Structure 1
Amino acid sequence: MELFGALFSPFVRKVAVVAAEKGLALDMPPFSFADPCDDFLAASPFRKIPAIKDGDYRLCDSTAICAYFDALAPDAPIYPAEARARGRAVWFEELADTIMVPALGPAIFNRFVLPRLRGVAGDEEAALAAIAKFNEVLTYLEGVTPAEGWLAGEFSLGDVAVASLLRTAEYIDAGLDPARFPAIAAWYDRVTARPAWQSVAAMEIGQAKAAGLA
């Protein structure tokens, strides 16, 4: 199975970690938005990452891909079976994808995309404003993060989605302040200590070095 995208993206990283949790093997061919391959374009008609090719099956969008993986390898579920826990798992993924990413997005664009990928200066004022909004969301998250275990009670896609964005925030000097967000920091350490996360992190380091970002 092939995964198209770069692991700097929280959405691509989310898919890669879920695959690793489930023991699904992924290949990541070299990827470029400037020169996308035909398989990527067939999988993602609007050129959004991530996308996958699994034999003659192609799919894009991280949530859709993770749902596909969950059905493909059901023995390692990423959605809890219990109704309330499942609802919370979906909520935390939604929090990451539709609230946290838009809040931090201008900072990612101005501190990472523009200066590091396009070689032009970003708008630092816009970046700082975005980080302030992001920290407001983290204040909410701090209040609902358990002292032990996982966001939905058992490990789920919600944990992967939120942690993946926090990892991307580290690229733009917007990583967690453990003194301000101790519960999130302790939970994040638990997520990133998992073998699946560690295996993807090693791949990400390789990609960063190849791209001159590490």
Structure 2
Amino acid sequence: MILYGVGASPYVRKTLLVLKEKGLDFEHRMVMPGDKSPEYRAISPFGKIPALTDGDFSICDSTAIITYVEAKFPAKPLLPADPAERARVIWYEEFGDTILAAQVGIIFFNRLVGPRFMGVPGDEAAAQKAVDEGLPPIFAYLESQIPASNFLVGDRLTLADVAVTAHLVNLGYVGVEVDAAKYPKLAAYLATMQARPVFVEILAAERAMFGG
């Protein structure tokens, strides 16, 4: 299997984490979003990352890739079999990829991606508004949802934890921390997730890419 995409993307990060948590053998090829090469567009018609090839099969989009991987490699499942638990995991993935991503993306783009990688001046006012107004209700929601087990669903690691943490990680690159005084459960949850060996490995590779 070959996974295409750059790790700083939370969607690529989410997929990498799933593949590594499941212990699968794969190659990771660095591809930037919007890659226009004919070879990549044959795999991902609109240049989206991540994309995956597995023999003659290819698919793009993190959710589609993870759905395929979970079905083909059922060992160490990250999608529960229980219908209610599976539905809750899918909700948290959607929450991460839309509601959380919208606010994190504004901050991450304006403070890092635009100025550093695209030569575009960042809109700090927009970034700060997301910090001050966009993130607090999201953090408050997550604070209310984290149980004593420190896993969002079913007292074990699932795609819910991977998806939410994959987006939260990008805040650390742009100077935004979860206030442990206001959100103690969320701060502890994020620290616990990032201490997992797979997270440590992936984040170390990312920091090297950023030159940190």
Q: 1:206 to 1:28 in 2, by over 3 A?
A: farther
One-letter code of the match for 2:204? A
Distance in 1 (alpha carbons) for counterparts of 2:35 and 2:65: 23
Correspondence 1:119 to 2:116: no
Cα deviation, 1:155-199, whole Å, max 9, x if unaligned, reads 110100000111011111123222221101111122222222223
| 8 A Cα contact 1:8 1:204, kept in partner | yes
Contact 1:20 1:199 in 2 (8 A): no
**Which residue of 1 is the match for residue 64 of structure 2?**
64
CA 1:111/1:141 → structure 2, altered by over 3 Å: closer, same or farther? same
Taking the TM superposition and a 5 Å limit, the aligned residue runs for 1:16-55 are 16-33=16-33, 36-55=36-55
Please say if residues 20 and 197 of structure 1, whose CA atoms lie closer than 8 Å, have aligned partners that are also in contact.
no
Any gaps of 5 or more consecutive residues in structure 2? none
Aligned residue type for 1:68: Y
Give the aligned partner of residue 160 of structure 1.
162
* Separation in structure 2 between the aligned mates of residue 202 and residue 128 of structure 1, nearest angstrom: 27
Partner residue, 1:173:
175
- Tell me, in whole angstroms, the C-alpha distance in 2 between the residues paired with 1:8 and 1:15: 12
2:145 equivalent in structure 1: 144
CA contact (8 A) 1:14 1:164 kept: yes
Give unmatched runs, 5+ long, in structure 1. none
Report the CA distance shift for 1:204/1:25 in structure 2 as closer, same or farther (over 3 A).
farther
Farther off after superposition, 126-135 or 57-66: 126-135
Paired AA for residue 58 in structure 2 = R
- Normalising by structure 1, what TM-score? 0.90
Whether the 8 Å CA contact 1:148–1:187 is kept in 2: the answer is no
Q: Distance in 2 between matches of 1:136 and 1:19?
A: 31
Residues 88 and 37 from structure 1, CA distance in 2 versus in 1: closer, same or farther, beyond 3 angstroms? same
1:90-149 deviation digits (Å, cap 9, x = unpaired): 111111011111122222221122111112321111111122202221111111111323
C-alpha distance in 2, partners of 1:50/1:151?
A: 24
In the alignment, residue 160 of structure 1 is paired with which amino acid?
V
Q: Which residue of 2 aligns with 1:93?
A: 93
Taking the aligned partners of 2:85 and 2:35, their CA distance within structure 1 comes to: 42
Q: Determine whether 1:187 maps to 2:184.
A: no
> Aligned Cα RMSD in Å?
1.7
8 Å Cα contact 2:34/2:48 also seen in 1: no
Instruction: Give the count of matched residue pairs.
Output: 210
Aligned to 1:83: 83
